[in-house]
Chains A and B, each alone.
Chain A
Amino acid sequence: MKSNRSDAGFYSSKRILVALTLFVVALASSTLEADKRGEQLYRNCTICHGPDGQGIPLQLAPSLTSLSEKYIVEQLKKYKAGIRGAHAEDTAGLRMLPMAQTMITEDDMQAVASYIVSLGSSPVEPTLEGGDPVKGQATYATCLACHGPEGKGNDLLNAPSLVNQHDWYHLDQLKKFKSGVRGSNPQDITGAQMRPMSMLLADEQMMKDVIAYIKTLGN
Chain B
Amino acid sequence: MFEFLDKFMPGILESLLPRASSYAVQIDVLFDVITILVGFWFFLVLGYFFYLIFRYRQRDGHKAEYISGETHKQKQAIEIPHYLILVCDVAIIIPTFLVWFNIKIDVPPPDEEVRIVAQQWAWTFYHAGEDKVLGTEDDIVSVNELHIKNNTQYSYHLESKDVMHNFSVPVFRLKQDAIPGRVISGHFKPILEGEWDIQCAEMCGVAHGIMGARIFIKSEAEHNAWLAANTPATSDTGTLAIVNQNRSQEKKDRNNG
The reply to whether B119 and A87 form a contact with Cβ atoms under 8 Å apart is: no
When distances are taken between beta carbons in the complex, the residues of chain A under 8 Å from B117 are: 88
With A94-B121, A98-B121, A98-B122 known to touch, is A88 a contact of B141 (CB < 8 Å)? yes
Complex-state Cα separation, A97 to B119, whole angstroms: 12
- A24–B122 CA distance with the chains assembled, in angstroms: 45
- Quick check: A94 and B119 within 8 Å, CB to CB? yes
Which of B25-33, B55-63, B166-174, B206-214 lies at the binding interface?
A: B206-214
Nearest CB of chain B from residue A82's CB, rounded to whole Å: 8
Count residues on chain B whose CB falls below 8 Å from chain A CBs: 16
The yes or no answer to B251 lying at the interface (CB within 8 A) is no
For the complex, is A95 an interface residue (Cβ under 8 Å from B)?
yes
> In residues 118-152 of chain B, which contact A (Cβ within 8 Å)?
119-122, 124, 141-144
> Contact at B206–A94, with CB atoms within 8 Å?
no
Q: Are B207 and A98 touching (Cβ within 8 A)?
A: yes
By a CB distance below 8 angstroms, the chain B residues around A97 are 121-122, 143
Quick check: is A40 within 8 A (CB to CB) of the other chain? no
Size category of the A interface is: 10 to 19
Q: Shortest distance in angstroms between B139's beta carbon and chain A's nearest beta carbon? A: 10
Q: Within the complex, what minimum Cβ distance (angstroms) separates A7 from chain B?
A: 61
Q: Write out the residue numbers on chain B whose beta carbons fall within 8 Å of the beta carbon of A94.
A: 119-122, 124, 143
By a CB distance below 8 angstroms, the chain A residues around B82 are: none
Binding site for A on B (CB under 8 A): 117, 119-122, 124, 141-144, 161, 205-207, 210-211
Residue positions of A touching B, CB distance < 8 A: 44, 47-48, 86-88, 91, 94-95, 97-99, 101-102
25 A-B contacts (beta carbon < 8 Å): A47-B205, A48-B206, A86-B144, A87-B143, A88-B117, A88-B124, A88-B141, A88-B142, A91-B119, A91-B161, A94-B119, A94-B122, A94-B124, A94-B143, A95-B119, A95-B120, A95-B122, A95-B207, A97-B121, A97-B122, A97-B143, A98-B207, A98-B210, A98-B211, A102-B210
